[in-house]
Structure 1
Amino acid sequence: MAKAKYLEVAQIILDRIKDKTYVAGEPLPNQEILANELDVSRLTVKKALDGLERKGLVYKQSGLGTFVSSDIPIQSGIDSPANMFTGLKNLMGTDNVRSNILHFSVEFPNEQVQKNLSLKKTEPVYNILRLRIVDNQPLIIEHTYMPVDLVPDLSEEILHSSIYNYIHHTLKLKFGHAYRKIKATKSSEYDQKYLMAKKDDPMLELEQIVWLTNGQPIEYSTSRNRYDQRDYTILENTRF
């Protein structure tokens, strides 16, 4: 699958930041200029800049444009923005991410899933367990529940690719807001088997509920990774 166009634009801008074509503290060309130069829409440029801003690489000043940020000294290669909801493939790029399906079924929800997804006990959900692999290394175990009515025709082919791309581009659904809780926990048998965690290794667990713009919850999930393989970061854009 080809990389999304806005990710290609983001990579071009990132490369220019790295080679000092765009210098820290200086404004980037405006969206219209970048769109014309790269032969894409202004919306594509905006999505690219929004993604770079979430990573702390650029910042926006109202009425002045988008500027290159100074380097973040504590940033590392395993950082993942805690407020990004584009999916792992869109975050990491499509070429180096794949999924192994550990479990996929349709079933009636238990009490916790009913509560988190505002469902009745007779409303079926997908129960999805995937091992996410990046650069041929196991990185994350994702356990996801989604209402069948909101995400129809979900298939193993989609699970091997990107559920979020299917939701956004095929079903034309948009996320409105999300709740995320990150905590430390002990390794489980699944962590030890699939993530090569040791029995005493601490794990990072991200638990989340995602709602659509109409207020309907569409996802309840947990994601687990080893303590030494992924960090979660938050960049605060404070404007006074």
Structure 2
Amino acid sequence: MKKYQTVAEKIKERIIAGQYKPQSLLPNQSELAKEFGVSKITIKNALDRLAHEGLVYKKSGMGTCVLGIAPMLGRHDSSVDSISGLTAQQGSEHVSSKVIKFDVAFPSEDICQKLNLKSNDPVYKIIRLRLLDNEPFILEHTYMPVGLVPNLSKDVLEHSIYSYIHHELGIRFGGAYRKIHAAKPDEYDLKYLGAAQDTPILEVEQILWTVNGSNIEYSRARNLYDARSYTVVEIND
């Protein structure tokens, strides 16, 4: 984890434990920076992350107020606009991956359109089962341009693709477009997620782009209807 993520997790643990009670103010950023031995920028990023999760509320001139754990928030839920990836969200000690398919091919017309590619630009075709604490959690169908993500390997796929992209390739994400909808189970869901023929599936379609504006990923992440939800926190500034 990055420093701000570590700090955010420690503050989150205190909120969950009741050390920081709902409606109370957190120590100011200078005090937190001194306690954790980090910069005020790191503290700001940590508090931004917690605000993004709906655990605290930052208001200019007021400080950072603890909201507590939202009663509707599940342990494995994710913010609808998070681009940190499953490993960063849940922790590498909890997440593992099983590679089901890993090929290089020329893209279909649909994938060309979604990734802004030419028909002779090769792409990776990846299917991975993401396991949480060794239990099937999410089934990912992913396409990435080979030209943008060179030297992708099975070893990388078994860990974190996003970590490889950020730390090995030095690529930063600019943002993502997502569509979330219900779907019927397919053959992969039946085999790898343990779905029955009538089990509803929640699917998140995503196009992810870099800070340079290049589309780097088109993916479909599928989970059983009751395994995970996606949340939105709205703040009235």
Query: Normalising by structure 1, what TM-score?
Result: 0.92
Partner of 2:111: 113
Which deviates more from structure 2 when the two are superposed, residues 190-199 or residues 27-36? 27-36
User: Which of 210, 213, 216 is equivalent to 2:214?
Assistant: 216
Partner of 1:162: 160
Which deviates more from structure 2 when the two are superposed, residues 25-34 or residues 189-198? 25-34
- The question of 1:48 aligning with 2:46 is answered yes
Letter in 1 for 2:234: E
Deviation of 1:148 after TM superposition, in Å, equals 1.2
Q: Contact between 1:7 and 1:93, CA under 8 Å: does it hold in 2?
A: no
Counterparts of 1:89 and 1:71, CA distance in 2: 22
Deviation of 1:73 after TM superposition, in Å, equals 2.1
> What is the number of residues matched between the two proteins?
237
Correspondence 1:143-222 to 2 at 5 A: 143-222=141-220
Deviation of 1:28 after TM superposition, in Å, equals 1.8
Partner of 1:72: 70
Letter in 1 for 2:219: S
* 7 and 221 in structure 1: CA distance in 2 versus 1, 3 angstrom threshold: same
CA RMSD of aligned residues (A): 1.6
**Deviation string, structure 1 residues 139-167 (Cα, Å, up to 9, x no partner):** 00001111111111111111111111111
Segments of 5+ residues of structure 2 without an aligned counterpart are: none
Deviation of 1:37 after TM superposition, in Å, equals 1.5
Deviation of 1:8 after TM superposition, in Å, equals 2.3
Letter in 2 for 1:220: Y
Partner of 1:85: 83
Q: Contact between 2:16 and 2:68, CA under 8 Å: does it hold in 1?
A: no
**Deviation string, structure 1 residues 175-227 (Cα, Å, up to 9, x no partner):** 11211000101111110100000111010010010111221111100000001
Segments of 5+ residues of structure 1 without an aligned counterpart are: none
Q: Contact between 2:16 and 2:69, CA under 8 Å: does it hold in 1?
A: no
Which deviates more from structure 2 when the two are superposed, residues 114-123 or residues 50-59? 50-59
**Deviation string, structure 1 residues 12-70 (Cα, Å, up to 9, x no partner):** 10121123322222322233332321123434333322222221111211343322114
Counterparts of 2:227 and 2:119, CA distance in 1: 37
Partner of 2:236: 238
Three-state SS of the structure 2 residue aligned to 1:220 is strand
User: Which of 222, 226, 229 is equivalent to 1:228?
Assistant: 226
Query: Normalising by structure 2, what TM-score?
Result: 0.93
